[in-house]
A and B are shown apart, each in its own frame.
Chain A
Amino acid sequence: MKLALRHAFVLAVCAFAIFPILFVVSAAINPLGTLASTELLPTGAGLANFGELMTSDVYPFGRWFFNSVFIALLSSFASLLLSMFAAYAFSRMRFAGRRVGLLALLLIQMFPQFLAIVTIFMIFTRVTELYPAFGFDTVWGLMLLYLGGALGVNTWLMKGFLDTVPKELDEAATVDGATHAQVFWKVIMPLVTPILAVTALLAFITTMSEFLMANVFLRDPESKTLAVGMYGMIAGDRRNENFGMFAAATLLTAIPTVSVFLWLQKYIVSGLTSGAVKG
């Protein structure tokens, strides 16, 4: 394909991707700060909505921001590791129940999740009584809950990638006397950096915008994440008046995600495996 054509196509898709975001930007800098007064090109511009957001007594935005980023970073890192362990076993080892296990991972995700929330609520009511440090309104409890989803479609994604990494590499290491742990940490992990980066980003984004479970779990305003807090901002009849603030918050929420993406981008495109087994 001609390069110009490629550019034209990608630009068109970019326009599609960005125009709703322009609307949000316009709402965020709209000095009136209401939904009804927002248009694609703002009639005036000001940072009043951002200022209001930062100084609000009702909405501790800074605290939510910190909570979200902290939970997302830590839980995506932990779930990445758990998922990679499993993917390594599924891709490189043959054992009874391998196929069933893989299928089960896929099927368990298909159950309509938000009913299970009733049960999760009951589990954590008990956990809160026994171990307050992991109960409701705590970062650690929510993190444990998110780790429940560590094995799932991301494991599949990594396994698929691992399957395309030549087996000769780790066989060679094994012949040289490496243990399975050494093969995993010293041979496999460096080779799978691109997919690790992709999965880390996916896990980060999912956690940042996860709403259903966090909404049940975090009730104290100080412990809320961005998604939960922002939903409260426009819940009920506050929708129109708080829309500017809400739009400003939406934009700020995208900042950590885009930063993580920028940080991981160089790993995503480093095609480390190509040429690894060249003679």
Chain B
Amino acid sequence: MPPDVRETVEASQAPRPRRNITTAFVVSRIAVLAVAAAILLYAAPPLVATGSWIGLAVLLGATAVIGYLYLTRRYVPAKYLVPGTVFLIAFQVFPVLYTVTTAFTNFGDGHRGDKAAAITAIERGSVRQAPGSPEYQLTTALRGGELVFLLVDPATKQVRLGDAGGLSPLPGAEVGVTGKVLRAPGVTVLTAPQAAARGEEIAALTVPTDGGAVKANGLSRAVEGRAALVYDAGCDCMRGEGGPWRADGSQGYFVNAAGEHLAQGWQVNVGLANFARVLTNPTISGYFLGVFGWNAVFALASVAGTFGLGMAVALALHHPRMRGTKAYRIALILPYAMPSFAMLLVWRDMFNRDFGLVNQMLGLNVDWLGEVTTARLAVVLVNLWLGFPYMFLVTTGALQAIPRELTEAAAIDGATPWKAFRRVTLPLLLVALTPLLISSFAYNFNNFNAIQLTTEGGPFPPENPQVGGTDLLITYTFRLAFGTGGAQFGFAAAISVFIFAIVAIVSAVAFRRTRKQEEVYA
């Protein structure tokens, strides 16, 4: 049969072997198009409705790229990597990058929003009841889904409607004997329980008036007040009591002549100030080495301990004539099956000096979490208990991949069991498990829960209550960033960047050492 000319041409252009177009091929392509279309149909309308054009562009771009990727025959690795990567970027990479950018700002309590939001908050917060201003009878109502105030002037009995836009007359309202509005055209009056359920919303609603605002005072009264602080765009300052408060763009605060600032500020870029603070703050840099040392010991001891114990049990059970392995495995998996935060709290109680189980059983009266050495021993032990079942599981899994023939061959060649383990089993195990060990090290280096839920960093020496005996870098510095003085996200992010750098460098070095190993088997 003469070759089809078209096919020869195509074959010379594309040197890869051509495959027949099968039913599965067609079905999978149609499925890809259908899924892409479904996602677009679901996700696009809300974006259009709210005018989020950037979001829409990202959505269209991503759908187009993904659609193309699965329709073409090229880029095979990408076909397998993209599904997980999409989620990874959205919920891990993006949050981390965003957090890193906040390290260059003063984001935190008092610096959450932009300047306009700060001005609104300050003005609203400073509203006080103006002397001699009327007190209205308040009835709350819904207009469509929106909460509005129906205000009855006590002197004139006139009814007005107040919403976030201002006051407007409301003709045709029927006022009851108590002064409450019974019904009014265009709105649904809320009953007392309904109003009580919306208490927060009612308290938050501010109806602007000329030079002031009407706010609810309870559920049945409203007062007109005036802002004690008013923004003046001319001088870029807040005028009023204690002021003028000038806007300081470098701090993100309104500052007065005396150097004081208003509590509410806004988010500004502070450059490297947060990083400089980590390096120069004596309470951080002064104790850094000590905390870092214990932190490294804690992480290494946790990894070595859990891996050692987990692997030892897995090896002990990995024997053809071993009986009862099922029951053993269940018992060994139990610590991992319990919710870890719950068990951390239980362990803390077990180490309690007065009624703790450990002292009861050993007949001791040791203040386990009150002395540095015993507290450190205790947290490492707790972490060993929590972590070894994981290592047991992964080692059991990895052991299945090592053919028994290899160890048998070693035995026939005269190797002792120890030698066979050291030279054959362990290297093969480490090929699969080294990345897990590195990852476990990184996890334990920042194991906030293990410390916070047991010792909270303590015991704290009386001469220096800043830094505790079991404090990790992360618990120690986060107490600084979120303790007194409110949450300082920018500062905390800068600390995180430093900790990340340390862990990443240690891990990358460890990783390089395993590189040769991996190349052999990869």
Contact = CB atoms under 8 A, between A and B. Distances in A.
Contact of A151 (B85, B396, B438, B507): B85
A156 B508 CA distance: 15
A227 B428 CA distance: 37
Contacts of A262: 330
Nearest to B25: A179
Interface residues of A, number: 108
Contacts of A150: 84, 87-88
B91 A14 contact: no
Contacts of B25: 179
B80 A86 contact: yes
A14, A24, A112, A231 interface centre (most CB from chain B within 10 Å) = A112
Given A86-B84, A112-B500, A274-B404, A20 B347 contact: yes
A237 to B, nearest CB: 14
A109 B206 CA distance: 45
Given A119-B98, A160-B432, A231-B341, A109 B439 contact: yes
A119 B81 contact: no
A148 B87 contact: yes
Contacts of A88: 80
Given A6-B319, A153-B435, A273 B99 contact: no
B442 A109 contact: yes
A83 to B, nearest CB: 6
B496 A115 contact: yes
Nearest to A201: B393
A52 interface: no
A253 interface: yes
Contact of A116 (B19, B95, B404): B95
A85 interface: yes
A23 interface: yes
Nearest to B45: A130
Contacts of B403: 273-275
Given A119-B94, A161-B401, A234-B345, A17 B334 contact: yes
A111 B338 contact: no
A1, A81, A114, A118 interface centre (most CB from chain B within 10 Å) = A118
B52 to A, nearest CB: 8
B360 A153 contact: no
Contacts of B511: 103, 106
B316 A9 contact: yes
Contacts of B330: 258, 261-262
Given A108-B93, A108-B96, A115-B99, A82 B507 contact: no
A120 B95 contact: yes
Nearest to A258: B337
A85 B142 CA distance: 52
A205 B337 contact: yes
B339 A208 contact: yes
Given A9-B316, A106-B435, A258-B330, A21 B50 contact: no
Given A10-B328, A81-B83, A147-B87, 19 more contacts: A10-B316, A14-B331, A20-B343, A40-B357, A82-B83, A82-B84, A86-B81, A106-B439, A108-B96, A115-B489, A116-B92, A123-B94, A130-B50, A147-B84, A157-B397, A194-B400, A205-B337, A227-B339, A254-B337
